[in-house]
């Protein structure tokens, strides 16, 4: 019998039918697979967030004394320091380089109490302190009581990287600076008329060594950053308090108090009444709250600055950088010179609340 479409064996007709059904079923699956492939290509990982925050001291000139022209100068200086540090991060550089570079800019600007614009101690000298810390290794370096180092934060980094120690002081620190090839400056480089007048003010009977808490007579600069690799770093530099006696050392060069950084937790730089920051181990305490309690960096900063320092009478503030690049700029004083920026497009610069 001839094989017509009507009288083919059942097995052949069944095979053709199965093949047709299979093709129909496979079509949407193939389409879905192609769409998924396109989606995978479109969902390439975003670049890692890089972030930096800086401060130029908590406690500022009162709003009445802060003229528009002076405010513009401070704002421009803060933005310059922030953007110098951010440029390093944007190019893939390490957080440690970024915080050092940002602090150097502030040390070179006579508006701030660090480096060139430092206040005078009771002997009429500029006595400089600084520290820096690498959150990826917990390596740290600090110097205190130097009088001729143009950029104390850079000397602190040399202590961290090129010595077996964490902190060097006074003449020994300056001898080390010379061995490292760092340039020293004459005392005249650091003298500014504004700071000299403040020093003379403190010598009157009515004003004590810290000028009765007047923020014009003390201050600090600092920076914290997160780089593209997720590493954190912090740095702080200061001239201390106007009229300070007996070789007084504040919190700025003390790791754990004025400066601290640890990957996975946070990076902190403090500014304010150093004795309170030392007693409360502020930098380490903020990072411990993030690491051990699981609170956000903003909440940890608020707890320490507002609930602890303020209730004890400690005036000041901190900048803190979280492990994901989120920052906190917390202070309990009238103002804090501050600025921040990250690769998501956020930018901030402010003086008062």
pLDDT digits (tens, 9 = 90+) for 100-125: 999 999 999 999 999 999 999 999 99
Residues 40 and 64 in one domain: no
Beta-bridge mates of residue 223: 54, 235
In terms of pLDDT, which residue wins out, 265 or 14? Answer: 265
Residues 156 and 13 in one domain: no
Q: What is the mean pLDDT of the chain?
A: 88
The rounded percent of the chain whose pLDDT value lies above 70 is 83
Residues 14 and 131 in one domain: no
Residue 296: CATH number of its domain: 3.60.20.30
Residues 18 and 104 in one domain: no
Domain count, the chain: 2
What pLDDT is attached to residue 26?
46
Residues 144 and 279 in one domain: yes
- Asked whether the predicted pLDDT for residue 142 surpasses 80, the reply is yes
pLDDT digits (tens, 9 = 90+) for 193-217: 999 998 998 877 555 555 455 766 7
Strands 167-169 and 221-226: unpaired
Residues 215 and 149 in one domain: yes
What pLDDT is attached to residue 63?
84
Residues 152 and 253 in one domain: yes
Cα pseudo-dihedral 63, 342, 292, 229, rounded to 10: -150
- Cβ burial 275-301 (10 Å sphere, 16+ → b, else e): ebbbebbbbbbbbbbbbeeeeebbbbb
Cα gap 331→310, rounded to integer Å: 9
Residues 159 and 265 in one domain: yes
Residues 35 and 108 in one domain: no
Active site residues: 220
Residues 186 and 323 in one domain: yes
Helix (H) or strand (E) holding 225, with range, is: strand 221-226
Of residues 325, 218, 331, the one with CA closest to residue 274: 218
- Is residue 250 within 8 A of residue 128, CB to CB? The reply is no
Residues 64 and 129 in one domain: yes
Domain that holds residue 30: 1-44
- Asked whether the predicted pLDDT for residue 172 surpasses 50, the reply is yes
Residues 238 and 287 in one domain: yes
């Amino acid at each position: 019998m001839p094989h017509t479409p009507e009288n083919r064996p059942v097995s052949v007709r069944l095979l053709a039918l199965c093949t047709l059904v299979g093709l129909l079923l496979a079509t949407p699956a193939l389409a879905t697979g192609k769409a998924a492939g396109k989606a995978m290509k479109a969902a390439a990982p975003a670049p890692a967030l890089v972030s930096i925050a800086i401060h130029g001291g908590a406690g500022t000139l009162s709003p009445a004394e802060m003229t528009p022209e002076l405010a513009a100068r401070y704002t421009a200086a803060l933005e310059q320091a922030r953007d110098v540090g951010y440029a390093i991060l944007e190019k893939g550089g390490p957080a440690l380089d970024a915080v050092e570079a940002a602090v150097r800019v502030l040390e070179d600007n006579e508006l701030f109490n660090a480096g060139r614009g430092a206040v005078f101690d009771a002997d009429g000298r500029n006595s400089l302190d600084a520290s820096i810390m690498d959150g990826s290794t917990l390596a740290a370096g600090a110097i205190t009581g130097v009088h001729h180092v143009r950029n104390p934060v850079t000397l602190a980094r040399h202590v961290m990287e090129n010595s077996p120690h964490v902190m060097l002081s006074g003449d020994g620190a300056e001898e080390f600076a010379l061995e490292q090839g760092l340039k020293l400056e004459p005392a005249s480089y650091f003298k500014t008329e504004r700071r000299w007048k403040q020093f003379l003010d403190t010598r009157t009977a009515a004003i004590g060594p810290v000028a009765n808490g007047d923020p014009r007579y003390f201050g600090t600069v600092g920076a914290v950053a997160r780089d593209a690799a997720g590493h954190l770093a912090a740095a702080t530099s200061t001239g201390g308090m106007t009229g300070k006696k007996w070789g007084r050392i504040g919190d700025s060069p003390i790791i754990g108090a004025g400066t601290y950084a640890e990957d996975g937790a946070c990076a902190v730089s403090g500014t304010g009444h150093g004795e309170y920051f030392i007693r409360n181990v502020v930098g380490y305490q903020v990072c411990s709250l993030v690491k051990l309690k699981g609170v956000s960096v903003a909440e940890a900063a608020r707890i320490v600055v507002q609930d602890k320092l303020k209730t004890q009478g400690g005036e000041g503030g901190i900048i803190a950088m979280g492990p994901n690049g989120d920052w906190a700029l917390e202070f309990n004083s009238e103002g804090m010179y501050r600025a921040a920026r990250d690769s998501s497009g956020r930018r901030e610069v402010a003086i008062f609340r």
